[in-house]
A = this chain, B = another copy of it.
Amino acid sequence: MQYSDNQILIDTHKRISPFIHKTPVLTSSQINNLVGADVYFKCENFQRMGAFKMRGATNAILKLSDKQRGSGVVTHSSGNFAQALSLAAKSLNVTAYIVMPNNAPQVKKDAVKGYEGIITECEPTLESRERESKLISQQTGATFIHPSNDIDVIHGQGTAAIELLNDYPKLDAIISPVGGGGLIAGTALAAHYFGHNCEVVGAEPFEADDAYRSLISGKIETNVTTNTIADGLRTQLGSINFPIIKRHIHNIIRVEEVEIVDAMKLIFERLKIVVEPSSAIVLAAIIREKELFKNKKVGLIISGGNVDITQLPF
């Protein structure tokens, strides 16, 4: 990098601000009482297309040259990044090619089509996804953008925490979900440069605890199972985000599936907002380890709200 991370993050936020929502921060006195801390929910479920991924996708496209943008962008994702890249590309008049596994739910394919993403179906394996993406890139000249292991994506995701710290500069900690690692890496950079001794803590399911084990071993470990309701957190850490995580993350709290569901229900009932299981995990983490956060000011990154509301787990 040619200039400081600090300045890069400020520039990133300025760059993407016209294309994203500044999301609200909600609080609940009942949840504060339950946890014994002051909890601030940064509501990225209210972000455009319903998740923080809009931030990173927008930044990655804006960082391309005009020539690159003219040839489009390509990614492989069955989740929120597919929608995010499609909508960000649409907003910026860029073509988005999305490689999706052929077993992806129709509702997700429809969402991508709604944002004018061009879908190519592939076999539901990582190899097939990567092969198809590469092929499209070769044929069209589209630039590949990884959903989480891309420094511009990471910086974009960090802007949620920048906004949270602008609103609440004295946070003692921020808890972020850990999936592919883009959000927590961006959050860690933001807290490092804009917080005041603000620790960043990860929340991860026991059922997909690659980051927890990677922090212990010091190298990227792979998930043994991904049998978690938090479908956004089944992905693996990457070579670009892991070094940032290793340097800046305080610790990772693992939680059980039932704790995720209970926290999700609590958020629906008390905050009156719709969140996905991958977001509810941050509340589950602070409830599980409440003695760590007693009387502290804690920000929670509510990453998204794209859940099938006809199939809620409660």
A contacts, CB < 8 Å to B: 24, 26, 45-46, 50, 265, 268-269, 272-275, 305, 309-310, 312, 314
Contact = CB atoms under 8 A, between A and B. Distances in A.
A185 B19 CA distance: 39
A310 B314 contact: yes
Nearest to A269: B309
Contact of A272 (B50, B265, B314): B50
Contacts of A26: 46
A210 B312 CA distance: 35
A62 B172 CA distance: 38
* Shortest 9 CB-CB contacts between residues of A and residues of B: A272-B305, A272-B274, A45-B272, A268-B309, A310-B314, A268-B274, A273-B273, A272-B273, A46-B272
Given A273-B273, A309-B314, 9 more contacts: A45-B272, A46-B272, A50-B272, A265-B310, A268-B274, A272-B274, A273-B274, A309-B312, A312-B312
Contacts of A314: 309-310
A110 to B, nearest CB: 12
A34 to B, nearest CB: 12
Interface centre among A45, A50, A265, A268 (most CB of B within 10 A): A268
